[in-house]
Amino acid sequence: MVISQLVRETAKRLSENPLFEAEQMVMAVCNLDRTELVLKGRNEASEEEKEKVNDMVLRRLKGEPLQYIIGECEFMSLKFYTERGVLIPRSDTETLVEKILDFTDENKEYKVLDICTGTGCIGISIANYRKKAEVKLLDISDIAINLAKRNIILNNVNDRVFAEKEDILKDYPKDKYDIIVSNPPYIESDVIDTLQVEVKDYEPHLALDGGKDGLIFYRRIADIAPKMLNVGGILAFEIGYNQGSKVLEIMKKSFYNIQIIKDLCGNDRVVIGIRR
Ligand code: GLN
């Protein structure tokens, strides 16, 4: 069977974005980029390659997210490695990065802290688009920190981005920053079991669970952020669609000019404020 045929046959077995997912699987297995997939469409696929694609399809049909199966994804037009145990970067989260880019200037230096960094997608993207930013990534999970370190190297920002393990509910860095960003766990504990199979059965609950009311991390970070931010520094959170007014209320004590920003679907997605 030739490669283009393998893509078509694989697509027939898949249900969500079948052609896209089939192409992604074949590209990963045969080690091809999009152009090569077209150019080498008439090359024969080996038995081993067909077998590997078949295994991927079986995993996908059980509900495992494509990004864990192929081990990578795209975020802010950059490539990130993904791995079980670490939340998959979401396109919604690009709203948070875009907002930080709006607030910053290409030619200025910034010290940035990304709390609950996961893959590192937020902090690494900021470093990529703001070449003078120095970024620290924090996460409680060893798997996340190791993955974030691989993503730092993948994106060639290892001179300015550093990843460290930290339990932010217990401790915090003693350095000063200009910008603190976080997409923390924010789902209410009781809601997690109602989420789709891809999320509740495959993604780490540690990265999702924001406690009984979903707000534990917002309270904690809004409380410690003023100690780490220079005056006029920025705190920006990703939030759930129904958390805007609650997080705004939490931030009021130490922040002003607080804005709630919507994502491309029209849901409240980011809250950003300036330290008093
Ligand atoms: N900050 C990471 C992301 O946006 C991880 C978020 C999390 O683990 N809650 O993907």
pLDDT tens digits along 107-156: 999 999 999 999 999 999 999 999 999 999 999 999 999 999 999 999 99
| Three-state secondary structure call for residue 178 | strand
Share of the chain above pLDDT 70, in %: 100
Q: Which architecture characterizes domain 76-275 according to CATH? A: 3-Layer(aba) Sandwich (3.40)
pLDDT of residue 42: 93
Rounded mean pLDDT, 37-42 = 94
Rounded mean pLDDT, 190-218 = 96
pLDDT of residue 45: 95
Ligand 1 centroid–CA 244 distance in Å is 18
Residue 15: pLDDT band (50, 70, 90) is very high
pLDDT of residue 172: 97
Name all contacts of 244-251 with Cβ < 8 Å and 24+ positions apart. 244/268, 244/271, 246/215, 246/218, 247/215, 247/218, 247/222, 247/271, 250/215, 250/218, 250/219, 250/222, 251/218, 251/222
* Residue from 67, 78, 87, 143 whose mutation best tests the ligand 1 pocket (most atoms within 8 A of CB): 87
pLDDT of residue 221: 98
In this structure, the residue with its CA closest to atom 7 of ligand 1 is 207
pLDDT of residue 55: 98
CA separation for the pair 98, 83 (Å, rounded): 25
Do strands 268-275 and 255-262 pair parallel, antiparallel, or not at all (unpaired)? antiparallel
Residue 265: pLDDT band (50, 70, 90) is very high
pLDDT of residue 236: 98
Residue 17: other Cβ atoms inside 10 A: 12
pLDDT of residue 175: 96
pTM as predicted: 0.95
| Three-state secondary structure call for residue 179 | strand
CB distance 183 to ligand 1 below 6 Å: yes
Tell me the pLDDT tens digit for each residue of 68-112.
999 999 999 999 999 999 999 999 999 999 999 999 999 999 999
pLDDT of residue 224: 97
pLDDT of residue 130: 98
Residue 183 main-chain phi, psi, to 5 deg: -115, 80
DSSP 116: S
Give the Å distances, CA to CA, from 151 to 29, 39, 119, 131, 199: 20, 29, 7, 16, 22
Q: Ligand 1, residue 139: give the atom nearest the CA.
A: 8
Residue 166: pLDDT band (50, 70, 90) is very high
Contact 68, 60 (CB under 8 A): no
Q: Ligand 1, residue 89: give the atom nearest the CA.
A: 10
